[in-house]
Amino acid sequence: MDYQSILEDIDAQVRPLLGREGRVASYIPALARVSPHRFGIALRTCDGEEAAAGDATTPFSIQSMSKVFTLTLAIRGLGEALWQRIGREPSGSPFNSLVQLETERGIPRNPFINAGAIAVADRLLSQGADAKAHVLEMLSGLCREPVHIDAEVAQSEADTGFRNTALANFMRGFGTLDNEPARVLDVYFNQCAIAMNCLQVARAAGYLCRDGAHPYDGTAVISETQARRVNALMLTCGTYDAAGEFAFRIGLPCKSGVGGGIVAVLPDRLSLCVWSPALDPTGNSLLGRMALELFVARTGLSVF
Ligand code: GLN
């Protein structure tokens, strides 16, 4: 398949629509300054073939796409014990919702809503290592390029993260978190503020289409079963209350972030990242979703 010309065609189709619909996330002030006139797309196949188009090498804030990688670290460190405090069901609610936590006694529905990712960050802290450094090291190792945290975005998140602070305090009250909320949130805000480009993300997610094997050296990042589970969670929970719509329209495990990125995986074939900052009301990239629909329509690739 000529992936390069497919991605270029998608770029040509999407580019005239930039800036027309959707809104850049504004609740994190540092993200509100990003231009909506950006679109990038990149993929890497399991055999190492790569293709990229548009702004595929422009760094952006990976935001909740980071939750895939922190989950991977937590699964690797804790195995099944991780699920004692975090569920595996779609929430059907916005990513920052507090309501289910009350009735479900502080156990987040899944690791991809904010509450769940904050609980994962707590687990990483309890594992002892410097959690922030650990995440950066993992991502740099996976994409074979240095990766850094955008300090301005991290500070902006910390300054305005009132809902996340509420979620962390609430879970601490229920005993879901072992560590002080401020320490846990520091990990969470910083992981969300990591800057990467589409090509780097597509490379980094390569282990998810290779049964858990590192995209470059083939060593086990996680086991085959664990990789399958991360993909299952991405399909059912990765795009929040739009997960059903994503499965219906695209049919690939996906994880979005409010920076406008979406990482998608087709097991045994490829990993893909699209980026366009303007979001739909569910916090998913509007043109990113459209680009994924075009990709699936054009290639016929989907898990279904
Ligand atoms: N940092 C963002 C938040 O906590 C991440 C949300 C997202 O990307 N969906 O609100």
Instruction: Give one DSSP letter per residue of 233-264, joined into a string.
Output: HHHHHTTGGGHHHHHHHT-S-EEE-TTSEEEE
Write down the pLDDT at residue 92. Answer: 85
CB 78 within 8 A of CB 123: yes
Domain that holds residue 213: 3-299
Q: Is residue 202 part of a domain?
A: yes
Write down the pLDDT at residue 27. Answer: 87
Kindly name the residue from 24, 240, 265, 274 that is annotated as catalytic.
240
> 193 C-alpha to center of ligand 1: Å?
9
CB 225 within 8 A of CB 208: no
CB 257 within 8 A of CB 66: yes
Query: Closest ligand 1 atom, CA of 193?
Result: 1
Which of 157, 239, 289 is the pocket-test mutation for ligand 1 (most atoms within 8 Å of CB)? 157
Q: Does 67 participate in catalysis according to the annotation?
A: yes
Q: Is residue 98 part of a domain?
A: yes
The pTM of this model reads 0.97
CB 254 within 8 A of CB 205: no
Does residue 157 line the site of ligand 1, with CB under 6 A?
yes
Q: Is residue 69 part of a domain?
A: yes
Using N-to-C axis directions, what is the helix angle for 66-78 and 181-192, rounded to 10°? Answer: 130
Write down the pLDDT at residue 97. Answer: 87
Q: Is residue 83 part of a domain?
A: yes
Write down the pLDDT at residue 224. Answer: 97
What CA–CA distance (Å, rounded) separates 198 from 203? 9
Q: Is residue 262 part of a domain?
A: yes
Q: Tokens standing for 237?
A: 């929970």
Does residue 96 line the site of ligand 1, with CB under 6 A?
yes
What CA–CA distance (Å, rounded) separates 222 from 227? 6
What CA–CA distance (Å, rounded) separates 59 from 148? 10
What CA–CA distance (Å, rounded) separates 283 from 163? 15
Cα 16 to the center of its chain, rounded Å: 26
Q: Is residue 114 part of a domain?
A: yes
Q: Does 263 participate in catalysis according to the annotation?
A: no
Q: CA separation (Å) from 31 to 132, 152, 207, 275, 279?
A: 21, 10, 29, 14, 12
Low-confidence ranges of the chain (pLDDT < 70): 129
Query: Closest ligand 1 atom, CA of 95?
Result: 9
> 186 C-alpha to center of ligand 1: Å?
13
Q: Is residue 304 part of a domain?
A: no
Tokens 């500070």 -> residue = 155
Does residue 160 line the site of ligand 1, with CB under 6 A?
no
Cα 292 to the center of its chain, rounded Å: 15
CB 163 within 8 A of CB 228: no
CB 284 within 8 A of CB 239: yes
Domain count for the chain: 1
Kindly name the residue from 3, 14, 64, 230 that is annotated as catalytic.
64
CATH number at residue 70: 3.40.710.10
What CA–CA distance (Å, rounded) separates 184 from 179? 7
Q: What residues does 273 pair with on adjacent strands? A: 42, 263
Write down the pLDDT at residue 159. Answer: 95
What CA–CA distance (Å, rounded) separates 268 from 13? 27
Q: Is residue 208 part of a domain?
A: yes
Write down the pLDDT at residue 94. Answer: 85
